Amino acid sequence: MTLTTRLHLTILTGLLISCIALAQTAPASGPSGQAPAQSAHAAKSAEKAPAPPPEVAPSAPVITINGLCADKPAVSSGGSVPAGCKTVITRAEFENITAAINPQMNPAMKHQFAEVYPRILLLSHEGRKLGVENDPHFKEMLQFATLQILAQDTARKLNDQAGEIPDQQIQQYYKDNAPKFEQFTLQRIFIPKPEDTTGAAEKGTPPLKPEQVKALADKIHAEGVAGADFDKLQTEGFDAVGLKSSVPHTLMENLPRGSLSGEQDSVFNLKDGEVSPVFSDAGGFYIFKMVSRKMPPLDSVKDQIKHTLQSENLKKSMDAVLDSGKTEYNDNYFGAPVNSEAQMPEPRAPVNGKLPPNHPKH
């Protein structure tokens, strides 16, 4: 096989894999895993790929491959295309194929797939002439591909079933889990530690020592508890450490629980108007004040709740299936157990119906 032929096959395979991969991943700005040689072509295709115009009827041809027909060779021995030999793919047929691969396939990817699909048909046609279908390797790959597609579509079906959630269940979850949906408005004062002020301090102003910054934070905290304005305290803190610009805003709005790191997340338990203790990390010191809290209306979090319940339902269904069988492995053949997550890619599955990796149990 020549280098050029190998390159063509590599590009063709990469395009096909990238199109099929859309069935397992969310739409992206471009396909992943493509061969580098096609990246410029892919970008060009994306630019020139408009959405199918509405006037194209379902029965109208969208791809015509002259010279490809089931009962005749693509090209005669003299190099000419047999008369009347062509394969026509209508819009309806093409969209049935793309919908099966990925219902969310965007116009740019459809255009790329339209360039790949005729090559697949031509190579498949040649493969039948060569008797590839009778090769043991082909039969093994066909059997595995069938199992893989069956598993993927089963996961997709389980995901669809998991998403059948009545409104009453959504309302009950909203009521039972109200703290999860609360949104908070806080004020925060940040005082950077000396290592963060050295480069930003005014020229000729030496940075404060660590114990001086800690004492400053405690002083500002006491003033905050006494009711001083947090914006003024923030400016005061930056001035004291030698920072004269880029004073951060203190107001933080619509924060959910869990949005702050580590022990800082405890501030969501403060009462309105209450000031937190001084928190510290490698970057500096933090002081929070609870301003207000609110419960968003059900309609604004309905999709979030449905997604949560769907994920929980899908996990239960998948666990029930995957735990229904106990797998044993021959260590004499496979060797010592390895970290399957590090060694093997996660099995591909639908966007919202992901098949978890099968962890060997020894």
CB neighbour list of residue 100: distance below 8 Å, 6 or more residues apart: none
Q: Are 288 and 266 in contact (CB under 8 A)?
A: no
Average pLDDT (3-15) is 46
Is 208 contained in some domain?
A: yes
User: Among the listed ranges 54-58, 60-64, 142-146, 274-278, which one has the minimum average pLDDT value?
Assistant: 54-58
Q: What is the DSSP string of 84-113?
A: T-EEEEEHHHHHHHHHHH-TT--HHHHHHH
Lowest mean pLDDT among 31-40, 267-276, 324-333: 31-40
pLDDT digits (tens, 9 = 90+) for 151-168: 999 999 999 999 999 999
pLDDT at residue 54 in the model: 67
Q: Find, among 340, 333, 331, 332, the residue nearest to 362 by Cα.
A: 331
pLDDT value of position 343: 55
CA torsion angle 61 65 66 69 (round to 10):
-100
Q: For residue 250, name the pLDDT band (cuts at 50, 70, 90).
A: very high
Give the count of domains, the chain: 3
214 & 251 share domain = yes
For residues 315 and 172, membership in a common domain is answered with yes
Instruction: For residue 310, give Cα distances in angstroms to 84, 103, 304, 357.
Output: 52, 19, 10, 19
- Is the pLDDT at 226 greater than 50? The verdict is yes
Confidence band, pLDDT 50/70/90 cuts, at residue 355: very low
Q: Is residue 168 part of a domain?
A: yes
195 and 102 share a domain? no
Residues 10 and 125 placed together within one structural domain of the fold: yes
**Residue 75 falls within a domain, yes or no?**
no
Round the average pLDDT of the chain to a whole number and report it: 81
Residue with tokens 């203190």: 250
Does 355 lie in the same domain as 337?
Answer: yes
For residue 344, the enclosing domain spans 137-179+308-362
* Of residues 348 and 322, more confidently modeled: 322
Q: Do 26 and 126 fall within a single domain?
A: yes
Identify whether 340 is part of a domain: yes
| pTM of structure | 0.61
Helices assigned H by DSSP within 163-285: 167-176, 178-181, 194-197, 210-225, 230-240
Residues 117 and 14 in one domain: yes
**One domain for residues 278 and 327:** no
pLDDT at 72: 57
CATH number at residue 258: 3.10.50.40
Q: With bands split at pLDDT 50, 70 and 90, how would you rate the model's confidence at 246?
A: confident
**Residue 184, beta-bridge partner list:** 255, 293
